């Protein structure tokens, strides 16, 4: 017979936690004991539907002029439906999250599991969390329910603060990065803000979350703001170098820039090299269709395409010939016949042996020795792109 579980409402939980919160310093220890007690009694926690914190129906995707709203406009409309938490409600909800985390930790310990053990195993759907928890999850039932309760509470606090990701993206949106990508990064960072938020400090959640949002936006810009990724430390150095160049002029020496920016000369040199812009080979040089593009300039008149082996620093052909220069006449002869270099086809060991008038084993030894001599850094550089 399956034991009947008792459902505790959030109002009942708040009565307990609000009383414990009167002693903020002792809250954690008392809440842990209460969490363990609720686990032993197998209490389940009420999970509110998302409709309880939304105050309107979503707006139409088509405006009066018949224009279909963009994805960002639809997202903003969805976010505008969500009611924002006040200071007291935020603190109260943060205590619920802390309590749910204590319950999950206790359930994991009781089942001799860790958070790493359940990573990727538990799944969650805001609308069907019961079936996902009880039917599809392979974890112990109590662990799965505690995980769902914690994740549901975290998700509610994130959703009710999504407006922060939309508001704070404005200061970064002019830098050439997709606004939706930035909003997505900011929204994901709100989960980290939820995990680090401490209601005891008396701060509004938005005050704390802005730090994580800005960090997420800057990290995304550093990693995706350029065609060729530049290390973060170089991007930061580039800012100081540009500031120094604006003050000293474009012709300032590396030494002068280093002194003005208070950076090492080697770092300034690297930052200047990393500041070079990129250009598509199909982009035109000027206005109009007749100006030509970079691909046409790079192409050779006598070639069918824009690529030429002359554009490569090291070609496979030159790398092989340079390596073969290290061989004796007999070794070169064996390698050329065995691999069909400068010949119509490849030859077998017996054919090479017959040509030289030696045994098969002797040809094999010459081949091994020759290949050993050819293993040069130059040949490795030449063949790497073809492997």
> CA 210 to CA 315: how far, in whole Å?
52
Give per-residue pLDDT as tens, 158-216.
999 999 999 988 888 777 778 888 999 999 999 999 999 999 998 999 999 999 999 99
Give per-residue pLDDT as tens, 355-386.
888 888 888 888 888 888 777 665 666 555 55
> CA 297 to CA 307: how far, in whole Å?
11
What per-residue confidence (pLDDT) applies to 285? 55
> CA 189 to CA 212: how far, in whole Å?
6
DSSP 129-151: HHHIIIII--S-HHHHHHHHHHH
Give per-residue pLDDT as tens, 317-344.
777 777 777 788 888 899 888 888 888 8
Give per-residue pLDDT as tens, 218-251.
888 877 766 666 777 777 788 888 888 888 887 8
Is 155 in contact with 82 (CB distance < 8 Å)?
A: no
What per-residue confidence (pLDDT) applies to 228? 65
Give per-residue pLDDT as tens, 96-139.
999 999 999 999 999 988 888 787 776 666 555 444 455 556 78
What lies within 8 Å, CB to CB, of 258 at 6+ separation is: 264, 265, 267, 268
What per-residue confidence (pLDDT) applies to 205? 94
What per-residue confidence (pLDDT) applies to 298? 58
Whole-angstrom CA distances from 176 to 119, 226, 273, 349 are 35, 9, 21, 61
**CATH match for 312-386 among 3.30.930.10, 3.10.20.600, 1.10.10.10, 1.10.10.60:** 1.10.10.10
Confidence check: pLDDT of 289 > 90: no
Query: What 3-state class would DSSP assign to 7?
Result: strand
């Amino acid at each position: 017979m399956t034991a009947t579980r008792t459902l505790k409402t959030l109002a009942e939980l708040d009565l307990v936690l609000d009383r414990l919160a009167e002693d903020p310093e002792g809250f954690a220890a008392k809440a842990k004991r209460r969490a363990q007690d609720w686990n032993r009694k197998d209490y389940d926690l009420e999970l509110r539907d998302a409709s309880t914190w939304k105050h309107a129906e979503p707006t139409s995707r088509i405006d009066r002029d018949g224009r279909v709203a963009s994805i960002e406009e639809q997202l903003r409309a969805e976010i505008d439906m969500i009611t924002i938490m006040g200071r007291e409600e935020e603190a109260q909800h943060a205590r619920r999250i802390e309590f749910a985390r204590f319950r999950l930790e206790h359930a994991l310990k009781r089942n001799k599991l860790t958070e790493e053990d359940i990573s990727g195993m538990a799944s969650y759907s805001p609308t069907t969390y019961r079936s996902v928890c009880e039917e599809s999850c392979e974890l112990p039932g109590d662990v799965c329910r505690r995980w769902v309760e914690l994740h549901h509470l975290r998700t509610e606090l994130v959703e009710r603060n999504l407006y922060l990701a939309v508001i704070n993206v404005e200061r970064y949106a002019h830098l050439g990065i997709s606004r939706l990508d930035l909003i997505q990064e900011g929204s994901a960072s709100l989960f980290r803000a939820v995990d680090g938020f401490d209601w005891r400090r008396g701060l509004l959640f938005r005050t704390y979350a802005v730090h994580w949002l800005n960090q997420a936006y800057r990290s995304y810009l550093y990693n995706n703001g350029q065609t060729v990724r530049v290390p973060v430390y170089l991007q930061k150095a580039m800012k100081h170098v540009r500031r120094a160049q604006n003050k000293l002029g474009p012709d300032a020496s590396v030494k002068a820039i280093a002194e003005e920016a208070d950076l090492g000369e080697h770092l300034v040199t690297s930052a200047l090299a990393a500041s070079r812009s990129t250009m598509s080979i199909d982009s035109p040089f000027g206005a109009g269709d007749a100006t030509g593009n970079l691909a046409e300039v790079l192409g050779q008149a006598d070639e069918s395409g824009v690529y030429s082996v002359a554009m490569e620093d090291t070609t496979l052909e030159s790398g092989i010939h340079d390596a073969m220069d290290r061989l004796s006449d007999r070794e070169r002869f064996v390698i050329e016949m065995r691999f069909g270099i400068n010949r119509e086809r490849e030859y077998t060991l017996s054919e090479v042996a017959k040509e030289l008038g030696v045994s098969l084993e002797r040809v094999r030894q010459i081949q091994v020795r020759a290949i050993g001599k050819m293993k040069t850094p130059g040949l490795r550089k030449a063949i790497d792109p073809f492997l």
